Amino acid sequence: MTGPVLVFDSGVGGLSVVSAMRRRFPDMALAYACDNAMLPYGVREDAWLVERIPAVCQAAVEASGCSALVVACNTASTLALEVLRRRLDVPVVGTVPAIKPAARLSRSRHFGLLATRATVSRPYTLALIREFAGDCVVTRVAADALVGQAEGLLAGDPLDGEVIHDSLAPLWEDSDLDTVVMGCTHFPLLHDALVEASPRRVAWIDSGDAIARRVAQVVPDHPVHQGPGRSFVTLADARITSGLASFGFARPTLLSFS
Ligand code: DGL
């Protein structure tokens, strides 16, 4: 396996996973693909997503010649992992909310799940909660507006404090909640702003490092990067180009697929 590891998301959220992978494996060759033409995924119909995601991923896998695909999107993974694994010839690593680590960490047995509207109500997510956090209260909060905040931040826009405050508000209704799962890969990009907007100290956790460790199992002799990684988009857009460049990716190529 010689091609890069391809990281896929609807938009820039997967760059938080890129950061986690680089922290663990600084020399790993990475490529990035996003379906920015159809962002955000969190408010779209499942039946549409389950057709769209494999089509985009297949085109990106072929164009990048990757050795493995990381679906760095909880909204996509909680719905389409099985179909992706069936359709693609490369190993596929998914991203699902860090429910199990949160259940291990929470002392009060009450934690929050901050994710897209789709992810907080998916059967896959509910099954994870039943299996790993059966003795916990889990406050599920749909925070789709934060996806736009993260996209804007990477394009150089200022954050909107009111949007962040309102998105987090349901987490603070009970004073015993002590941990928050960032179940959308866009949210770690906002980590400092989320901490700043919190009325009290809680632990913020995400799946980035667990994904990096899983990639190392799937691609034990990982390809080493030589120069900037390639990137792929579904819509040419200067704003996303600058976000990708700030994470060291080359100017994106427009994906073509049917
Ligand atoms: N970054 C994606 C996730 O982890 C979702 C963003 C979107 O709604 O497109 O769920």
Domains and CATH numbers, the chain: 5-95+209-254 (3.40.50.1860), 99-206 (3.40.50.1860)
73 given a catalytic annotation: yes
Give the single-character DSSP code of 181. E
pLDDT, one tens digit per residue, over 30-77 is 999 999 999 999 999 999 999 999 999 999 999 999 999 999 999 999
Within 6 Å (CB) of ligand 1, which residues are found?
Answer: 9-11, 13, 39-42, 73-75, 116, 119, 147, 184-186
Q: Given the CA of residue 115, which atom of ligand 1 is nearest to it?
A: 10
Model-wide pTM > 0.85: yes
What pLDDT is recorded for position 58?
A: 97
Host H or E run for residue 61:
helix 46-64
pLDDT of 249 strictly over 80: yes
- Distance between Cα 119 and ligand 1 center (Å): 9
Q: Which residues contact 132 (CB under 8 A, 6 or more apart)?
A: 99, 100, 103
Instruction: Say whether pLDDT at 221 is over 90.
Output: no
Cis omega (within 30 of 0) on the bond before 40? yes
Give residue for tokens 């962040």. Answer: 164
* Residue among 10, 17, 77, 79 to mutate when testing ligand 1 (max atoms within 8 A of CB): 10
Instruction: Summarize the confidence of residues 111-127 as an average pLDDT.
Output: 98
Q: Which of 74, 77, 93, 233 to mutate to test the pocket of ligand 1 (most atoms within 8 A of CB)?
A: 74
Mean pLDDT of 144-158: 97
Digit-coded pLDDT (tens) for 169-183: 999 999 999 999 999
